[in-house]
Amino acid sequence: MGSTCIIRLYYVSVFILGTGRLKQIYRFGTKTAYEASIGYWSQSDSKSKYSSHVDLLELVDKLNSSTSFVHRRWPEFCSPVQLNALIRHGIRNLGQNDIIHFLSVVNKISSRPESANHNFNDLLNTLFELTDIVTSYEEKSLLPQGRDEQKYVARRIYDMYSDLLVEMDVDDIYLVVSSSQRTVDSCLAFMEEWMRKTNSLQSNPPLHTNDTLIRFFDKCGKYVKEIEEQEKVALNEYYKYQGDNFNKISEKLSKKLNLNEEQSLSKKEVKALYMISAIEVAALKTNKVLALFDDEDITLLEYATDLKNYWKKSFGHEINYRQSCPLLLDVFQHLENVIQNRNRYKAVLRFGHAETLLPLVALLGLFKDEVQLNAENQDIHADRKFRTSRISPFSANVFFVLYECDKHIGNGISWKKDMIQVVVNEMPVVLPGCEHDFCPYETFYEQYKDILDTCNFENICRLQNHDEL
């Protein structure tokens, strides 16, 4: 018999999954519902005033028509051996400040004289429904729609990787959450669906709380001091852009709502009305509040949201993404454990926040525009890569999927490789340094080796004293 030559290489996969059930694309930045990020509304709503909000749709169609991960999955001679993920929590309630400003808007609108206008009364009833929602749950807590959203994502992932997951038990899964209850609730909803899908998983695996990995932004002194505590300076581009543009939107809204000068909406009330529109779409499946905004308003509001996230959580400042390196290091450690046969978790699932996901995506070098986003250059960023409505909607997830590939070439020779692939919201993404979305593990590792080797969280986040300046 001829001898057998074994060649081993290593490959990985990263993706952010979406659901695609809704029949309309909506753009609320990080407050976009998962399915609304890449989906469409039903046919009955296809003639909605907002059917023109489809700039993301063209991109989704374009990417899905390529060698899509969803359609192509992976080569038949490759098998997934580990799902290594960061999953953002599901749809949550507004924060306390946004709730206060939203209720102020409702008070201003409802204090108007009664109207015989049917559309206005419909709007008012919708605002009252939304008031019930935001006041019935704790601020920033996971809403029921957020639980459903997580279950839907879990179901899609399970169905895609059922061969790997069908026989899993509690020892095959490692779960990480932050100290925030909404990540815990998201994790439990996700796992509830996985337990429903398989008989072998009889109980929930233990949850490991690790804020160093998930809420690094709270623990990084340099970030807290230079970005959080000096937001007006660090996010100067956002505040410059917000000024005149939000005032213009406020004037238009006040006119539409027939508000007098004293009742005119503040910038914070405009923002709150935009944010409540996201909850309306997710919870009520209507867009009556959203219809107050025209196309120009939505474009301005979305760009403002992207500007804020760009400068606070992403490429705007190096510290924004460098502080996430322990998370990337953790991803590699779990992948290496599989490769070195030290540990073979089938799934490592971390449940976090937009403040977790956006820095990690930036650290990977994904969705980076050639020119920085600022207050003056919106015109050249109409087709920008950095669009949080599709990068980090609620329940967005980044999966690093490790594959083992084994192909018999002939003459006693086997081709064996471990591979990595990156998919963002069901779309394959080519990592920097990789030629294709399926990338050799060695190439993947070498691309980020310097980041991993210099990942000292204490040094990265250390504040300089005056003697060092």
Structural domain for 31, as ranges: 5-468
Q: Check which CATH number belongs to the domain holding 362 and give it.
A: 3.40.50.1240
Highest mean pLDDT pick, 45-59, 198-212, 316-330: 316-330
Between 181 and 12, residue with greater pLDDT: 181
- Total number of domains constituting the chain: 1
Over residues 441-458, mean pLDDT: 96
Do 182 and 140 form a contact (C-beta atoms < 8 A)?
yes
Highest mean pLDDT pick, 5-19, 46-60, 115-129, 191-205: 191-205
Confidence at residue 17, expressed as pLDDT on a 0 to 100 scale? 37
Over residues 250-268, mean pLDDT: 91
Which pair of structure tokens corresponds to residue 27?
């753009």
Do 32 and 26 form a contact (C-beta atoms < 8 A)?
yes
CB-based burial of residue 57 (10 Å sphere; 0-12 exposed, 13-18 middle, 19+ buried)? middle
Cα distance between residue 144 and residue 375, in whole Å: 36
User: Amino acid letter at 375?
Assistant: A
Percent of the chain with pLDDT over 90: 67
Residues in CB range of 39: below 8 A, 6 or more apart: 18, 19, 20, 21, 22, 23, 24, 25
Between 381 and 244, residue with greater pLDDT: 381
User: Amino acid letter at 267?
Assistant: K
Answer left, alpha or beta for residue 98, where phi above 0 means left and psi between -120 and 50 means alpha: alpha
Beta bridge partners of 415: 7, 407
Do 227 and 319 form a contact (C-beta atoms < 8 A)?
yes
The set of long-range contacts for 194-197, using a CB threshold of 8 Å and a minimum separation of 24, is 194/154, 194/158, 194/165, 194/168, 197/154, 197/155, 197/158, 197/162, 197/165
Cα distance between residue 343 and residue 214, in whole Å: 22
Confidence at residue 25, expressed as pLDDT on a 0 to 100 scale? 56
Confidence at residue 2, expressed as pLDDT on a 0 to 100 scale? 43
Tokens 């072998």, residue located? 200
Over residues 31-38, mean pLDDT: 84
Q: Is the pLDDT of residue 18 over 90?
A: no
Average pLDDT value for the chain: 85
Highest mean pLDDT pick, 40-54, 114-128, 344-358, 454-468: 344-358
| pTM as predicted | 0.87
Q: Which of 266, 280, 243 is nearest to 28 (CA)?
A: 280
Phi, psi of 120 (to 5 degrees): -65, -40
Tokens 């978790």, residue located? 345
Strands annotated E in 204-341: 207-209
Confidence at residue 16, expressed as pLDDT on a 0 to 100 scale? 42
Do 88 and 352 form a contact (C-beta atoms < 8 A)?
yes
Q: Would you give the end-to-end CA distance of the chain in angstroms? A: 70
Confidence at residue 119, expressed as pLDDT on a 0 to 100 scale? 80
Do 189 and 150 form a contact (C-beta atoms < 8 A)?
yes
Cα distance between residue 138 and residue 93, in whole Å: 7
Q: How many C-beta atoms lie closer than 10 Å to residue 453's C-beta?
A: 9
